[in-house]
Each structure stands twice: as structure tokens, then as C-alpha cells.
Amino acid sequence: MVNADEEVPILGTAPTTVVVVDDHAPTRSLIVELLSGTGFDAVGQAATARGAIEAATRLRPDVVLLDIEMPGSGIHAARVLSRSLPGTTVVMLTASEEDADLFEAVRAGAKGYLVKSAGLDDLAAELRAVLDGRPALSPALMTRILKEFRRHRHMIPSRARLDSRLTEREREVMELLAEGRSTEEVAGSLFITATTVRVHVSSVVRKLQARDREQAVRLLHRG
């Protein structure tokens, strides 16, 4: 029984865990420093999309903060993590203000899109807003998204239509690549050579009229 005169300790709220992903080490360090003491705990760091996927899968953080321009593509990491870790919130933190990157990030499942040029002083508050269900997008970015989706909503081919252009083996190859596997890993999984994997990928890129393999993966696996 607790004596009425005794003070009862109040248990603190557990910090919100974050994995910080950026291929620029000083930027990662700055983000970790900015989040320190704000209710966030940077439990892991990575410099590539593959590293992001591995770290997030192992640590199961509340938030993954992803750059776009890094080895393996932050967009790809966002897509994989949004599907494989539904309890983790994906937020992009990037220097890119390109419309294409913004739209791909939203399609990949990112819940927020923060631009580095806007400054990082309010980073913790912006992340908290995302976790509270408010999209971390400036009014200008939101307007661009709405205009773009209105303009293209009848023009974007469905995944089913794109899928129908591929052979069964091509679909298998692209599914494995979308999981973040290397050419050699795909070859091993399907018991074919790495050269054969590249031939299938080239065929898919041609059929989808994509710029490269990464865009082909995005077209086939967008949300």
C-alpha cells in the first residue's frame, strides 16, 4: 500500500525510435544531434537502401528517416519498408525538390516529405506531426501533388496492365529485385545465371518503356 504522504514516481514515456538513413555521414550526425533530447531516439543509421532495409527490419523503429539520392534509391527502400513494416512510419528527408521524386515517394508509401533546404531546426516537431497523422508537406508541395494527380489520374497505366506485358519469369525477376536483392541473389534464387537476369531486366525495361531498371521496379510496384 502506498502512503498518502509518499510521492509516487511517474513513469516517463518511452522515446520514439528512429533509423536515420543518408549517405552523407555528417548529415546523419547532424540529424541524430537535432533529435537528441526531443523525445526521439536514433537507434540506428544506414547509408544505403539495402542498409536501411536491413537496419529497419532488425530494429523495428517507429520511424525511418530516408534520403532519396543514395545507393540503391531511397524510394525503393521506402516502398519495401512500407509494405514489410506497416508499424513503421516512413518519412523522406531530402535535398530533392523534383516533382518526380515527390510523387514517387508518396506512391511508395512515405507519410511525409521534408526538404533539407527548408532547414532542420523544426525536424522533431515535423516528425511528431507525421506521427500524429498530419502530413509533413508544405502548402506548396501539397498543391503540386494535388494538381499532378488530378492531371494524370486517367493517364497512369494500372499495375495489372503493366504486369500483363511481362512473361512469368520476368515477373519473378522483378519481384525479387523489388525486395532489394542483387542480380546475383536473384540468379541464385531462380537457378539461372546473372547474365540471364540482366537479359530479363532489359526486356522488362524495353516493354515498359522505362529509363532504367529502377524506374521499371517503381512502375510495377507503386502503391
Per-residue confidence (pLDDT) for residue 160, from 0 to 100: 55
How much is the pLDDT for 175? 87
Q: What percent of the chain has pLDDT over 70?
A: 78
Residue with cell 541473389: 185
Bigger pLDDT: 51 vs 11: 51
Q: Which domains does the chain have, with CATH numbers?
A: 16-152 (3.40.50.2300), 159-221 (1.10.10.10)
pLDDT band at 147 (very low <50, low <70, confident <90, very high): low
Name residue 16's beta-bridge partners.
40
What is the full DSSP assignment across 39-62? TEEEEEEESSHHHHHHHHHHH--S
Reported confidence tier of residue 135, pLDDT bands at 50, 70, 90? low
Measured CA angle at 52 (ends 13, 116), to 5 deg: 75
Report the predicted TM-score, pTM, of the whole model to 2 decimal places. Answer: 0.60
**pLDDT score of 91:** 93
Instruction: Yes or no: say if 52 and 81 are a contact pair by the CB < 8 Å rule.
Output: yes
Lowest-pLDDT choice from 44-48, 73-77, 112-116: 112-116
Summarize the confidence of residues 120-140 as an average pLDDT: 76
Evaluate whether 91 touches 130 at the Cβ level (below 8 Å).
Answer: yes
Band of pLDDT at residue 191, cut at 50, 70 and 90: very high
pLDDT of 3-23, one tens digit each?
444 444 444 578 899 999 999
